[in-house]
Amino acid sequence: MSASSLSPLRAELARKALHLLTAALPIAWARDVVSTSQLRGALTAALVVALGIEVLRRRSPAIGTRFVALVGPLLRRHETRALTGATWLALAMAAAVWFAPERAALAALWAAAVGDASAAVVGRSVAQWRGLTTGGKSWVGSAAAALSTAVGCWWLAAATWPVAVALGAVAAMAEYPHRPFDDNLRVATAVALAAVVLGLR
């Protein structure tokens, strides 16, 4: 099967497989494999590269065409004209590690990497299983986002279970709407702010 003929579910799985790879970042940070300064540097570099690609593909039609040819199946329809989800994810993660306290940033990174991806994969999988064609959000996807985020907040950020469950609910509520902004940014920002309010520093 060619990349261009990927089914909606397979395309979503491919997108979120790349998404889930970023879960290695909060795990490595929490386990002191990488330092805060190293993670900040890596995410800042990733953001600069992502923004550079965004600028180039808009200024050069040839580069834009080549970009879409290479990664088109992994893009949502609006991402061919707007910032890609990968760029939003890099921005959200970089902002979290630069501006949020460590435990709040850990929760935010995990929610953006795993919580958001879980919502999409589980929601699409259940929709296909039930024979639905809608691409909308679903309560089962939101439940997956809440559960996976809560587990990560408890595991990596040492949140108590009540706080972890509350952050899971925040992630699900931030992921569910289609607007405003990209859900990667909404989820990371909402979880980071809620974590600070709930004393996760």
pLDDT digits (tens, 9 = 90+) for 158-187: 999 999 999 999 999 999 887 788 999 999
pLDDT at 124: 76
pLDDT at 1: 40
Q: What is the mean pLDDT of residues 130-157?
A: 84
Give pLDDT tens digits for 98-114.
999 999 999 999 999 99
Which burial class, exposed, middle or buried, applies to 197 when counting CB atoms under 10 A from its CB (0-12, 13-18, 19+)?
Answer: exposed
Which burial class, exposed, middle or buried, applies to 53 when counting CB atoms under 10 A from its CB (0-12, 13-18, 19+)?
Answer: middle
Domain ranges of the chain: 3-197
User: In the structure, what pLDDT confidence band is assigned to residue 130 with cuts at 50, 70 and 90?
Assistant: low
Residue with the bigger pLDDT between 105 and 65: it is 105
Is the pLDDT assigned to residue 79 strictly greater than 70? yes
- Angle, helices 61-71 vs 36-59, to 10°: value is 120
pLDDT at 8: 62
Query: Using CA atoms, how far apart are residues 193 and 201, in angstroms rounded to an integer?
Result: 11
pLDDT at 125: 77
Report the SS3 class of residue 137.
coil
Q: What is the mean pLDDT of residues 121-147?
A: 76
Query: Using CA atoms, how far apart are residues 194 and 88, in angstroms rounded to an integer?
Result: 20
Q: Report whether 153 contacts 168 (CB < 8 A).
A: yes
pTM for the whole structure: 0.89
pLDDT at 3: 42
Q: Report whether 123 contacts 140 (CB < 8 A).
A: yes
Is the pLDDT assigned to residue 137 strictly greater than 90? no
